[in-house]
Structure 1
């Protein structure tokens, strides 16, 4: 038998605890007594664990709890060098732990830990609604005590605030804040004791925050990381029987796929979102059908794309006749979809007109979207050969670009520099190029 490798993760936690071997063993034994299963571990057992011997499966949670109490923070299986707990794709005991590990990597200000999360996976396993609905997390008492609806309301309010920051300034700085809030506040709440209605409400709120964090990861181009957040959102939405967030997340995953050019995957996810929401109201139906139209257009399904677009327009008319909604799918977003569908189908003039209408209807608070969509409009204008008009639109995008921290917007600016470079003999294009080099980061204007 070969020599075991030391458990470096457990070693780090042990050093951080400043315990002796006997103190570590004693605390694990105490956890066993609390659980009703007295244990009699001593120093040699702890020494074996540190040396790479895997503790019995039923003892591992006790080791993690002892360390968590000592270090005053959650400790996960992965952090301690243990394999993940068993369970299927639904939100079983490993969901909260996985969320902690994911959020911790995302909190690293150096971003080194998330560089490996930029690859989008078309082979991602997406849990179906029947697979996740009603599967409650195992209650893990201890750290957060008992929670009620005030804690749920606080999580909802914080999610709204982070979303506002993302809309105005982009997700580059807001996402690590969301990740820290998930790890330090929300995951202890998910482990806390609570009445069933409160637990479901907390999982629903956590699901919405996971979706938002995934959306911001897409904005920074960390597509694998975004997919992991999205799957957590689906699991928590199913566990809390939150149809709205489940469908919204699937639709967000479709948006991610279509933006990356994965048309068939985008269509599959858009159809899954629509199928999971049979009782959708008109605004939700417009929200879903608009995305189906975009995905269908990208896959070359012209008749389906136009049919979905017609359905989205009819649903939006019905929704707007009932009440205008700020902060949800609105006429500006619909015209954005119309523009992209027309562009995919080769109707450049129609794409330009629809994007102009989207820009005109866009609320002022959505700065990040406005800058990105103005840059996209300019690209469409350039494809039509309208250099002067495109330069004017790009200048409008540059007015607010310095206020936005977004990889998606940075990419649009890189595209701008590339598209106008062959036209620098034109005075308007040269002036735009000089202005862009003055306001863009050096990495873009090089």
Structure 2
């Protein structure tokens, strides 16, 4: 029984626990990483991030990090630390052993981040995550422990936060939700140390997306609201506000799904209208200081999720079709997720043929992507087909899916 209890406590596979007990490797409780809001100094922030990266690089501890569960209550600690924490010290390091860090070093981190993010977007998190973590551990950490003035230090911490967020995002895409949560939290701490609300708002939008994906509606609303408020205070450009307002509407739709009212619909419509207006007010060019940008295609995708959750499937279908039109011709993960959105909206209308036809395209493309999140969305759609299990279309699709999985 104690072995089963160990497996439950660490969120690990019982087989792994057997290996530990039989001497295959120690259970390192440092892998159970919880936020410590009592120490917000620069040194403590860097050490906490480095400990996470080391854990992910160590073969004997990586499996524990991957097995961590998502803990909703931890989100409150991260938000409190962002809103009220203070380090009380300047951003600079001058240790005698560290190398001198300059702007060129920061630019190289951001160049790596852009390259890794493009691979993630096109092919999924599984293809690039190990490289992101290795870069954080082997290239970014020595810089954080180097010598720099306040200006370079702030830029360095922001760059480290962005790359840490990407490591969390790729973990999320692979279904490693506890690990993703830890990376998002450390990214938020680094953004706090840099006094960088732009990056912090971006991190919180990723945290919102994860909470939505996991059905944590109340937390999604809190995270989305915090991201929007942070961006407003930092005078975010319209393109950034468009995405944030759209995501806030999506979070609210999830939170009120199944018990929606006219008031909920009015709130969602107001947020979506604000997102549309912000998008129209934008210049069409992304502000270099802001990673967040909501274009019409992204907004249409979020609108589709909102209306489908609230049961307004006709509006959900219309928005989903706009999103698909904007993504036409591509083969990215975003296109396949948009196809699943459209399939769910059509299924809500009872148009089973159209729904199955659309999701079949996403299924065939999923094999070339390394994205557990996409696979989970497809399997979630398949479960929704159960009321139509006796129809020819569904039987044929399930046979096709079984053959695709077997190959």
TM-score by length of 2: 0.80
Q: 1 CA distance for matches of 2:187 and 2:172? A: 15
CA contact (8 A) 1:133 1:241 kept: no
- CA shift, 1:214, in A, is 1.3
Aligned to 2:284: 323
Q: Which runs of 5+ in 2 are unaligned?
A: 1-28, 257-263
Q: 1:399 to 1:315 in 2, by over 3 A?
A: same
Instruction: Find 1:308's aligned residue among 271, 275, 281.
Output: 271
Q: Check if 1:409 corresponds to 2:337.
A: no
Q: 2 CA distance for matches of 1:101 and 1:182? A: 11
Q: 1 CA distance for matches of 2:240 and 2:356? A: 36
Q: Check if 1:368 corresponds to 2:333.
A: yes
Aligned to 2:185: 231
Aligned to 1:258: 212
Q: Check if 1:101 corresponds to 2:64.
A: no
Instruction: Find 1:155's aligned residue among 106, 109, 134.
Output: 109
Q: 2 CA distance for matches of 1:251 and 1:385? A: 32
Q: 2 CA distance for matches of 1:272 and 1:302? A: 21
- CA shift, 1:427, in A, is 4.4
Q: 1:353-373 CA distances to partner (integer Å, 9 max, x unpaired)?
A: 111211211276671121122
Q: 2 CA distance for matches of 1:338 and 1:87? A: 36
For the aligned residues, what is the CA RMSD? 3.0
Instruction: Find 1:383's aligned residue among 343, 348, 351.
Output: 348
Q: 2 CA distance for matches of 1:349 and 1:427? A: 24
Q: Which runs of 5+ in 1 are unaligned?
A: 1-76
CA contact (8 A) 1:136 1:239 kept: no
Instruction: Find 1:285's aligned residue among 241, 250, 253.
Output: 241
Q: 1:209-265 CA distances to partner (integer Å, 9 max, x unpaired)?
A: 111111122212222222211121111112222221011111221221122222221
Q: Check if 1:186 corresponds to 2:149.
A: no
Q: 1:155 to 1:409 in 2, by over 3 A?
A: same
Q: 1:365 to 1:151 in 2, by over 3 A?
A: farther
Q: 1 CA distance for matches of 2:246 and 2:121? A: 20
Q: Check if 1:346 corresponds to 2:307.
A: no
- CA shift, 1:144, in A, is 4.7
Larger Rg: 1
Aligned to 2:72: 121
CA contact (8 A) 1:90 1:135 kept: no
CA contact (8 A) 1:203 1:239 kept: yes
CA contact (8 A) 1:170 1:219 kept: yes
Q: Check if 1:175 corresponds to 2:129.
A: yes
Q: Check if 1:333 corresponds to 2:289.
A: no
- CA shift, 1:89, in A, is 5.0
Q: 1:139 to 1:291 in 2, by over 3 A?
A: same
Q: 1:132 to 1:255 in 2, by over 3 A?
A: farther
- CA shift, 1:78, in A, is 5.6
- CA shift, 1:203, in A, is 0.7
TM-score by length of 1: 0.73
- CA shift, 1:198, in A, is 1.4
Q: 2 CA distance for matches of 1:139 and 1:291? A: 37
Q: 1 CA distance for matches of 2:225 and 2:74? A: 17
- CA shift, 1:309, in A, is 1.0
